[in-house]
Copies of this chain bind each other. A is one copy, B any other.
Amino acid sequence: MIPLPLEQLIKELASLPGVGKRSAQRVALHMLQNPECMKALEGKMQAVAQEVKTCTKCANIGLDDPCHICTSVTRDKTRICVVEGVDDLWAIERSGAFTGMYHVLGGVVDAMQGVGPNDLNMDNLVSRACSDSVDEVILALGASVAGQTTAHIIKGRLKDAGVNLTVLARGMPMGADVDYLDEGTISLALQGRQAV
Protein backbone atom coordinates (compact mmCIF):
# COMPACT_ATOMS: atom_id res chain seq x y z
CA MET A 1 0.00 0.00 0.00
CA ILE A 2 2.83 2.41 0.87
CA PRO A 3 5.14 2.69 -2.17
CA LEU A 4 8.39 0.81 -1.55
CA PRO A 5 10.84 3.76 -1.77
CA LEU A 6 8.68 5.70 0.68
CA GLU A 7 8.43 2.68 2.98
CA GLN A 8 12.23 2.46 2.96
CA LEU A 9 12.59 6.18 3.70
CA ILE A 10 10.15 5.82 6.63
CA LYS A 11 12.20 2.87 7.94
CA GLU A 12 15.42 4.86 7.65
CA LEU A 13 13.91 7.86 9.43
CA ALA A 14 12.44 5.65 12.16
CA SER A 15 15.95 4.29 12.86
CA LEU A 16 17.04 7.76 14.01
CA PRO A 17 17.13 8.26 17.78
CA GLY A 18 13.87 9.57 19.24
CA VAL A 19 11.93 9.20 15.98
CA GLY A 20 9.00 6.76 16.15
CA LYS A 21 7.26 5.07 13.25
CA ARG A 22 4.42 7.58 13.14
CA SER A 23 6.69 10.65 13.20
CA ALA A 24 8.85 9.03 10.52
CA GLN A 25 5.75 8.60 8.35
CA ARG A 26 4.76 12.22 8.90
CA VAL A 27 8.26 13.47 8.09
CA ALA A 28 8.49 11.30 4.95
CA LEU A 29 5.15 12.62 3.64
CA HIS A 30 6.25 16.18 4.42
CA MET A 31 9.46 15.58 2.47
CA LEU A 32 7.55 14.13 -0.47
CA GLN A 33 5.32 17.21 -0.56
CA ASN A 34 8.25 19.61 -0.11
CA PRO A 35 11.08 18.40 -2.36
CA GLU A 36 13.03 21.61 -1.64
CA CYS A 37 13.14 20.61 2.05
CA MET A 38 14.61 17.24 1.06
CA LYS A 39 17.25 18.93 -1.13
CA ALA A 40 18.17 21.36 1.67
CA LEU A 41 18.51 18.52 4.17
CA GLU A 42 20.77 16.58 1.79
CA GLY A 43 23.01 19.63 1.35
CA LYS A 44 23.27 20.21 5.10
CA MET A 45 24.10 16.55 5.75
CA GLN A 46 26.86 16.59 3.14
CA ALA A 47 28.32 19.80 4.61
CA VAL A 48 28.37 18.23 8.08
CA ALA A 49 30.00 15.05 6.76
CA GLN A 50 32.69 17.04 4.99
CA GLU A 51 33.41 19.92 7.34
CA VAL A 52 32.82 18.77 10.91
CA LYS A 53 35.78 17.05 12.58
CA THR A 54 36.25 15.24 15.89
CA CYS A 55 39.02 16.68 18.06
CA THR A 56 41.72 14.02 18.55
CA LYS A 57 42.52 15.47 21.97
CA CYS A 58 39.17 15.86 23.72
CA ALA A 59 36.70 14.30 21.20
CA ASN A 60 34.69 17.52 21.01
CA ILE A 61 33.49 18.29 17.48
CA GLY A 62 34.25 21.39 15.49
CA LEU A 63 35.59 22.77 12.26
CA ASP A 64 39.19 22.27 13.40
CA ASP A 65 41.23 19.52 15.00
CA PRO A 66 42.29 20.23 17.78
CA CYS A 67 39.03 22.03 18.56
CA HIS A 68 38.68 25.70 19.47
CA ILE A 69 38.46 24.85 23.20
CA CYS A 70 41.69 22.79 23.18
CA THR A 71 43.56 25.52 21.30
CA SER A 72 42.13 28.45 23.27
CA VAL A 73 44.77 30.51 25.08
CA THR A 74 42.31 32.01 27.58
CA ARG A 75 40.83 28.81 29.02
CA ASP A 76 41.99 27.20 32.25
CA LYS A 77 44.16 24.21 31.27
CA THR A 78 44.40 22.90 34.84
CA ARG A 79 40.81 21.58 34.91
CA ILE A 80 39.25 18.93 32.69
CA CYS A 81 35.49 18.42 32.72
CA VAL A 82 34.53 14.88 31.66
CA VAL A 83 31.17 14.60 29.83
CA GLU A 84 29.30 11.73 28.20
CA GLY A 85 28.57 13.46 24.92
CA VAL A 86 29.03 16.64 22.92
CA ASP A 87 25.49 17.76 23.80
CA ASP A 88 26.47 17.76 27.51
CA LEU A 89 29.49 19.92 26.63
CA TRP A 90 27.19 22.35 24.81
CA ALA A 91 24.86 22.51 27.82
CA ILE A 92 27.74 23.33 30.19
CA GLU A 93 29.13 25.93 27.77
CA ARG A 94 25.68 27.54 27.61
CA SER A 95 25.72 27.91 31.40
CA GLY A 96 28.94 29.91 31.12
CA ALA A 97 29.98 28.49 34.50
CA PHE A 98 33.07 26.60 33.35
CA THR A 99 36.17 27.97 31.68
CA GLY A 100 38.40 24.88 31.68
CA MET A 101 38.96 22.07 29.19
CA TYR A 102 36.65 19.18 28.29
CA HIS A 103 36.94 15.48 27.64
CA VAL A 104 34.12 13.74 25.77
CA LEU A 105 33.84 10.07 26.76
CA GLY A 106 31.42 9.15 23.99
CA GLY A 107 29.00 7.36 26.34
CA VAL A 108 28.97 5.62 29.70
CA VAL A 109 29.76 2.06 30.73
CA ASP A 110 26.50 0.14 30.40
CA ALA A 111 26.51 -3.64 30.57
CA MET A 112 22.89 -3.79 29.35
CA GLN A 113 23.88 -2.01 26.14
CA GLY A 114 27.16 -3.91 25.85
CA VAL A 115 29.30 -0.79 26.37
CA GLY A 116 32.52 -1.52 28.29
CA PRO A 117 35.28 0.87 29.43
CA ASN A 118 37.30 0.03 26.30
CA ASP A 119 34.51 1.28 24.06
CA LEU A 120 34.91 4.74 25.56
CA ASN A 121 37.53 7.45 25.11
CA MET A 122 39.11 6.60 28.48
CA ASP A 123 42.81 5.85 27.83
CA ASN A 124 43.14 9.29 26.36
CA LEU A 125 41.63 10.79 29.51
CA VAL A 126 44.13 8.95 31.71
CA SER A 127 47.09 10.23 29.72
CA ARG A 128 45.71 13.78 29.73
CA ALA A 129 45.08 13.65 33.50
CA CYS A 130 48.64 12.42 34.10
CA SER A 131 50.14 15.47 32.40
CA ASP A 132 51.74 18.00 34.77
CA SER A 133 49.40 20.86 34.03
CA VAL A 134 46.16 19.18 35.15
CA ASP A 135 45.04 19.69 38.78
CA GLU A 136 41.41 18.66 38.73
CA VAL A 137 39.18 16.28 36.77
CA ILE A 138 35.48 17.09 37.16
CA LEU A 139 33.09 14.25 36.34
CA ALA A 140 29.94 15.77 34.81
CA LEU A 141 28.25 12.45 34.02
CA GLY A 142 24.55 11.65 34.27
CA ALA A 143 23.13 10.89 37.72
CA SER A 144 22.21 7.36 36.62
CA VAL A 145 23.54 3.92 37.57
CA ALA A 146 25.56 3.83 34.34
CA GLY A 147 26.98 7.29 35.06
CA GLN A 148 27.97 6.28 38.58
CA THR A 149 29.54 3.03 37.40
CA THR A 150 31.59 4.98 34.87
CA ALA A 151 32.64 7.49 37.54
CA HIS A 152 33.77 4.59 39.72
CA ILE A 153 35.84 3.09 36.89
CA ILE A 154 37.44 6.46 36.10
CA LYS A 155 38.29 6.87 39.80
CA GLY A 156 40.15 3.54 39.68
CA ARG A 157 42.02 4.48 36.52
CA LEU A 158 43.05 7.90 37.85
CA LYS A 159 44.11 6.89 41.34
CA ASP A 160 47.82 7.31 40.50
CA ALA A 161 47.41 10.37 38.32
CA GLY A 162 47.79 12.84 41.18
CA VAL A 163 44.69 14.89 40.34
CA ASN A 164 41.69 15.96 42.39
CA LEU A 165 38.66 14.05 41.16
CA THR A 166 35.31 15.77 41.74
CA VAL A 167 31.70 15.21 40.67
CA LEU A 168 28.86 17.66 40.08
CA ALA A 169 26.82 18.45 43.21
CA ARG A 170 23.57 16.50 43.69
CA GLY A 171 20.52 18.28 45.05
CA MET A 172 17.44 20.29 44.14
CA PRO A 173 17.40 21.69 40.60
CA MET A 174 16.57 25.40 40.25
CA GLY A 175 12.83 26.11 40.46
CA ALA A 176 12.00 22.70 41.95
CA ASP A 177 9.29 22.09 44.56
CA VAL A 178 10.29 19.80 47.42
CA ASP A 179 7.05 17.82 47.20
CA TYR A 180 7.77 16.93 43.55
CA LEU A 181 11.32 15.65 44.22
CA ASP A 182 11.98 11.92 44.27
CA GLU A 183 13.24 10.28 47.46
CA GLY A 184 16.77 9.81 46.11
CA THR A 185 17.18 13.50 45.31
CA ILE A 186 15.72 14.53 48.67
CA SER A 187 18.14 12.34 50.59
CA LEU A 188 21.14 13.56 48.51
CA ALA A 189 20.03 17.18 48.99
CA LEU A 190 19.77 16.61 52.76
CA GLN A 191 23.19 14.94 52.94
CA GLY A 192 24.75 17.79 50.99
CA ARG A 193 23.03 20.60 52.92
CA GLN A 194 25.03 23.78 53.33
CA ALA A 195 25.21 26.66 55.79
CA VAL A 196 23.35 29.80 54.67
Chain A contacts to B: CB under 8 angstroms:
1-6, 8-9, 12-13, 15-19, 23, 25-32, 35, 37-38, 40-42, 44-52, 61-63, 85-87, 90, 93-94
Main secondary structure of the interface of A (DSSP, over half): helix
Point out the residues of chain B lying under 8 angstroms from A63, CB to CB: 3-5
CA distance A41 to B35 in the complex (A): 14
How far apart sit A61 and B86, CA to CA, in the bound complex (Å)? Answer: 40
Does A38 contact B45, Cβ atoms closer than 8 Å? Answer: yes
Q: Are B61 and A37 in contact (CB under 8 A)?
A: no
In whole angstroms, what is the CA distance A30 to B28 when docked? 19
Q: A25-B87, A29-B85 are in contact. Are A9 and B93 (CB under 8 A)?
A: no
Question: In the assembly, what is the distance between CA of A94 and CA of B54, in Å?
Answer: 45
